[in-house]
């Protein structure tokens, strides 16, 4: 916890005329009131208000706001009263502290109707003095920075509230740096694996390409020097959550995402901004549709800047923001720039908006909404840039992701309506089903009896609910086709064992697998819910051949300590013949990774857990799983021929999943059990040579996560 002197030292550089005595008095009063109170981490509770005040000094805020931060929990959590705070520190501070207390007491994670009323109260509190929300945002930021001390369920609740309410609000106020940090801190709690994965990808990218930011920054400075423009250039990688959101919106993997770097150029004058833009576009190719001039058309919160995206080194896209120092100050602090100090006086920034006018403009948009739900919807339409809110003909609100279509809207209302959809009207006009819906539109779904979901809808739909319902309907409609395909797969699997797929054998397999009848068995086999191996084993459990068991699979790894067991890592699925590394886990033995596994970067600072291992020489049994990604022509018998080919290479199919279906091709993932890496290469070569196979690659990550393919050679 920083001392009163250290806090004042943070204020003096921008406000030499600060009332040090009053800040010191507030510090002492707050510490006295919170005496004996502790945070979840065990630290004195007063360390939190002090940290909030320190955050606000970064925005160069006035004394009243800083004192409010020091006292913001006194009225709520201590014996201090409004009257006492007013007597000691003035009515202005007391009013601000009371406003923060009321905001803290709002249950913003409650039901939709109550949340609407809380939003209304929140805007009413903001309308009195916007500094209330500035303190509350800093309060939330420090709580998110120290959230690990909370219980897991409390962490999740606070993180969702931050992502839904406080981060968008910070962005709406123009405090983009705070929005990004709040989102990233919430992302760390809500999806830690995804965040860690993106960070690891960054580490690997830097190893492969070196310091791209430094190189591009140097190139930009050189171009500006040529253009005789004096400016500062800063570059940075975007926050993990920002990258994750782009991956989700664009449905792209990290390796295909281009604009993950951002650059900021701070010039001396507005004229230099446009000269800089010319120099950048002359040197690099501008990306169409990615240029915005917020200098000539500022945002309502005072934000001014030129945005452009260009293709930089190696064809990588980079985002460039160009602005003056005064514009930058507003961009960093948003509406808070109105209270910023510089050299002891209120900063006279010509681009800072009047917060009173801004909040009036914002609240006027919602004053006409008498209904609570309509009010909440109006708030969210204003604040949430990644959501689309549309209305049914009866006025009910439907929330969809940006980029959604009427198909998504129909299934969001009810699966039955989605399945029977034949058309849609947007604001009374008939539109194609692939139309991207926009905020505030009224959508009417046209249905027809006898209509069923079409396979092409999978390319139109964007929500998981719609896609799942469409796939289920298509699977049911295609049952007859699956039964026919399943019969061919069963014949192939039984023939491979020298047996016949008779009706009696299939009925026996269905009974042993606890399925209704033979057709149920064949339908599941044809839709890849069962494998031919499982069907054969259900009838002849002891007839499957055992190949090459010279090396015991339980003792296949050399280099383990006596008594240590091992498991293959699911992220890379190492095979005999590949170079491997072991990571020790207390009570869990050793997890074996391939030497080039991305996951190993997480243990770089724990060398004592690493074991240098190798596979036993000799013939291994075909029990080591690997996953293949195949694109296969949608022709009769194609899947059966591939399954037969896999069997002929003495590999076993352990799993089969359809990933995507198109009229001419479909993509699937096949789990196979192999002997070693040579066996894998042999199988992939055979598959690549098969006329029905368009492409084949090895998947090196578990299902449901981002995958990187190892192409067949």
User: Residues 88, 40: one domain?
Assistant: yes
Shared domain check, 649 and 711:
yes
Do residue 78 and residue 186 come from a single domain? yes
Instruction: Tell me which residue range forms the domain holding 62.
Output: 4-190
Judgement on whether residues 216 and 307 belong to the same structural domain of the protein: yes
CB 37 within 8 A of CB 45: yes
Domain assignment of residue 460, yes or no = no
Q: Is residue 26 assigned to a domain?
A: yes
Identify the sign of the CA torsion 621, 622, 623, 627: positive
Beta-carbon contacts of residue 3 (< 8 Å; ≥ 6 apart): none
- Locate 297 and state its tokens: 């058309």
Give pLDDT, residue 117: 57
Beta bridge partners of 557: 615
- In sign, the C-alpha dihedral spanning 6, 7, 13, 17 is negative
User: Tokens 């989700």, residue?
Assistant: 248
Torsion over CA: 676, 680, 681, 685 (sign): positive
In this structure, is residue 459 part of a structural domain?
no
Is residue 185 located within the same domain as residue 200?
A: no
* Cα atoms in the 13 Å half-sphere on the side-chain side of 141: 26
Q: Pick from 581, 598, 615: which residue ends a domain?
A: 615
Among 20, 43, 58, 77, the one annotated catalytic:
77
Q: What is this structure's pTM?
A: 0.51
Do 163 and 293 reside in the same domain of the chain? Answer: no
Domain count, the chain: 6
Domain limit, last residue, from 418, 437, 452: 452
Q: Is 76 an annotated catalytic residue?
A: yes
- CA gap 672, 533 in Å, rounded: 11
Q: Quickly tell me which residue has 């929990």 as its tokens.
A: 73
pLDDT of residue 106: 60
Residue 81: which CATH number?
1.10.3210.10
Q: Point out which residues pair with 425 in neighbouring strands.
A: 430, 444
* 374 belongs to a structural domain: no
Give the C-alpha separation, 668 to 280, whole Å.
44
Distance of CA 495 to the CA centre of its chain: 47
Buried b (16+ CB within 10 A) or exposed e, 440-463: ebebbbeeeeeeebbeebbebbbb
308 shares a domain with 204: yes
Q: Are residues 126 and 64 both part of a single domain?
A: yes
Residue at 363 is within a domain:
no
Look up the CATH number of the domain holding residue 220: 3.30.460.10
122: tokens are: 């929140």
Same domain for 51 and 165: yes
> Is position 635 annotated as part of the catalytic site?
no
Task: Yes or no: say if 363 and 383 are a contact pair by the CB < 8 Å rule.
Answer: no
Closest CA to 156 of 188, 111, 112, 118: 188
- Active-site entry in 20, 43, 58, 76: 76
Within 10 Å of residue 219's Cβ, how many Cβ atoms? 15
Beta bridge partners of 319: 262, 309
**Which residue, among 630, 622, 598, 599, has the nearest Cα to 711 in the 3D structure?**
630
Neighbouring CB atoms inside 10 A of 414's CB total: 12
Which pLDDT score is estimated for 23? 93
- Asked, for residue 272, whether it belongs to a domain, the answer is yes
Task: List the CATH number of the domain containing 693.
Answer: 3.30.70.260
Beta carbons within 8 Å of 180's beta carbon, 6+ residues apart:
239, 241, 242
Whether 266 and 333 share a structural domain: yes
Domain stop point among 590, 615, 640? 615
- The verdict on residue 502 lying in a domain is yes
Let me know whether 209 and 78 are in one domain: no
Confirm if 473 and 453 have CB atoms less than 8 A apart.
yes
Residue 357, domain member (yes or no): no
pLDDT averaged over consecutive 10-residue blocks of the chain (713 residues)? 90 88 93 89 90 90 91 87 90 87 63 53 66 89 90 88 81 82 91 83 72 86 92 86 72 57 91 93 84 83 86 75 90 73 63 65 52 50 58 81 88 91 90 86 90 87 82 78 86 78 88 86 82 83 52 82 84 90 84 88 83 83 91 85 87 88 85 90 82 86 43 32
Looking at the structure, tell me whether residues 277 and 305 fall in a common domain.
yes
Tally Cβ neighbours within 10 Å of residue 156.
15
pLDDT in the model for residue 476: 76
CATH of the domain at 435: 3.10.20.30
């Amino acid at each position: 916890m920083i001392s009163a002197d250290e806090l004042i030292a943070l204020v003096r550089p921008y406000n030499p005329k600060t009332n040090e005595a009053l800040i010191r008095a507030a510090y002492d009063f707050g510490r006295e009131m919170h005496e004996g109170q502790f945070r979840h981490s065990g630290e004195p509770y007063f360390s939190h208000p002090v940290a909030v005040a320190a955050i606000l000094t970064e925005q160069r805020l006035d004394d009243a706001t800083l004192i409010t931060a020091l006292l913001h929990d006194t009225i709520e959590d201590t014996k201090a009263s409004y009257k006492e705070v007013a007597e000691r520190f003035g009515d202005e501070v007391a009013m601000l502290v009371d406003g923060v207390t009321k905001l803290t007491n709002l249950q913003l994670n409650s039901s939709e109707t109550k949340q609407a009323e809380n939003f209304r109260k929140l805007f009413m509190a903001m309308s009195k003095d916007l500094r209330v929300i500035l303190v509350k945002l800093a309060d939330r930021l420090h709580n998110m920075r120290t959230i690990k001390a909370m219980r897991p369920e409390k962490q999740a609740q606070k993180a969702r509230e931050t992502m839904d309410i406080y981060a968008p609000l910070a962005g709406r106020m123009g405090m983009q740096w705070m929005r990004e940090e709040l989102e990233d801190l919430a992302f760390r709690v809500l999806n830690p694996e995804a965040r860690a994965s993106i960070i690891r990808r960054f580490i690997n990218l830097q190893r492969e390409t070196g310091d791209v930011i430094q190189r591009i920054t140097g190139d930009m400075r050189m171009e500006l020097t040529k253009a005789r423009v004096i400016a500062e250039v800063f570059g940075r990688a975007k926050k993990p959550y920002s990258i994750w959101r782009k991956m989700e919106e664009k449905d792209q993997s990290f390796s295909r995402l281009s604009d993950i770097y951002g650059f900021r150029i701070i010039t001396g004058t507005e004229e230099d901004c446009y000269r800089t833009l010319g120099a950048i576009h002359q040197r690099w190719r501008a990306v169409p549709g990615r240029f915005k001039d917020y200098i000539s058309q500022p945002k309502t919160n005072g934000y001014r800047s030129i945005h452009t995206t260009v293709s930089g080194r190696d064809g990588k896209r980079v985002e460039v923001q160009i602005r003056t120092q005064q514009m930058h100050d507003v961009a960093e602090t948003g509406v808070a720039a109105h209270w910023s100090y510089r050299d002891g006086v209120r900063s006279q920034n010509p681009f800072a908006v009047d917060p009173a006018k801004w909040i009036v403009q914002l609240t006027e948009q919602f004053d006409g909404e008498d209904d609570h739900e309509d009010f909440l919807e109006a708030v969210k339409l204003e604040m949430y840039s990644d959501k689309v809110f549309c209305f049914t003909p009866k006025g009910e609100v439907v929330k969809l992701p940006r980029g959604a279509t009427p198909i998504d809207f129909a299934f969001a209302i009810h699966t039955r309506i989605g399945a029977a959809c034949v058309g849609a009207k947007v604001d009374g006009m008939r539109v194609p089903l692939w139309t991207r819906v926009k905020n505030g539109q009224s959508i009417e779904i046209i249905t027809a009896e006898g209509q069923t979901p079409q396979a092409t809808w999978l390319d139109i739909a964007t929500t998981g609910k719609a896609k799942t319902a469409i796939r289920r309907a298509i699977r049911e409609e295609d049952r007859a086709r699956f039964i026919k395909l399943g019969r061919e797969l069963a014949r192939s699997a039984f023939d491979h064992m020298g047996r016949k797929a008779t009706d009696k054998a299939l009925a026996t397999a269905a009974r042993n697998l606890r399925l209704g009848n033979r057709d149920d068995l064949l339908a599941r086999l044809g839709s890849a819910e069962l494998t031919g191996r499982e069907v054969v084993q259900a009838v002849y459990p002891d007839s499957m051949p055992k190949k090459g068991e010279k090396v015991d699979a339980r003792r296949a790894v050399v280099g383990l300590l006596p008594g240590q067991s091992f498991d293959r890592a699911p992220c890379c699925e190492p095979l005999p013949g590949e170079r491997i590394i072991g990571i020790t886990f207390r009570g869990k033995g050793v997890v074996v990774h391939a030497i080039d596994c991305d996951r190993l970067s997480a243990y770089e600072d724990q060398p004592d857990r690493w074991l240098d291992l190798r596979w036993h020489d000799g013939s291994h049994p075909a029990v080591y799983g690997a996953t293949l990604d195949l694109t296969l022509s949608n022709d009769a018998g194609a899947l059966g021929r591939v399954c037969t080919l896999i069997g002929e290479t003495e590999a076993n199919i352990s799993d089969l999943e359809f990933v995507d279906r198109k009229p001419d091709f479909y993509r699937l993932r096949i789990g196979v059990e192999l002997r070693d890496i040579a066996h894998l290469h042999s199988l992939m070569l055979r598959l690549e040579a098969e006329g029905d196979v368009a492409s084949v690659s090895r998947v090196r990550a578990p299902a449901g996560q981002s995958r990187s393919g190892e192409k067949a050679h």
